[in-house]
Structure 1
Amino acid sequence: MARRSAPSAQPSYLTHSHHDHKSLHDSNESAFSKFLRTEVFAPEKLPGNISIASAVGVFVGGIIAIRTWGDLMVPA
């Protein structure tokens, strides 16, 4: 349920800026570089991307650790 407030109250979240980002970038950029700019290195998406990268790193590290030292975990 939405919280109701006075009509003159400001939003409690940060709104997106409404200026045009297209004018700052080259119109001839490739689709891959546009994807990197808008999805990977965008400041508003960086915390989520770091979270995904750290989760993948822990997963791969766990696989490497089990493959390297897995025989030590089995009782003799």
Structure 2
Amino acid sequence: MAQARQLEQEQGQGSFVQSVKSELFSPEKRQGNLNIALSLSVFAGAIVFLRNFGELLAV
């Protein structure tokens, strides 16, 4: 019984890992993932910039 449960968990983890790998690293989805990463980095950079130098932008 315990071995069967462990086997099911291992198969479940394998399918999750496989799906994550297929979503992140597949060549046909790479351009979209790069666009998302670029957008998030620009957004985070804008937040950091405004938190540090926001008072200089006030008129």
Q: TM-score, normalised by structure 1?
A: 0.56
| Percentage of identical aligned residues | 35
Structure 1: 4+ residue segments shifted above 6 A = none
Unaligned runs of 5+ in 2: 1-10
Unaligned runs of 5+ in 1: 1-26
Shift of 1:53: 0.6
- Residue 54 in structure 1 maps to residue 42 in structure 2: no
- Residue 44 in structure 1 maps to residue 28 in structure 2: yes
RMSD, matched Cα: 1.9
- Residue 71 in structure 1 maps to residue 55 in structure 2: yes
Query: What does 1:10-49 align with in structure 2 at a 5 Å threshold?
Result: 30-49=14-33
Larger-gyration structure (1/2): 1
Map Cα deviations across residues 48-70 of structure 1 (whole Å, 9 max, x no partner): 00001100110111011000100
Map Cα deviations across residues 20-54 of structure 1 (whole Å, 9 max, x no partner): xxxxxxx7862332122210000110000000110
Q: TM-score, normalised by structure 2?
A: 0.70
The answer to which structure, 1 or 2, has the higher relative contact order (CA under 8 A, 6+ apart) is 2
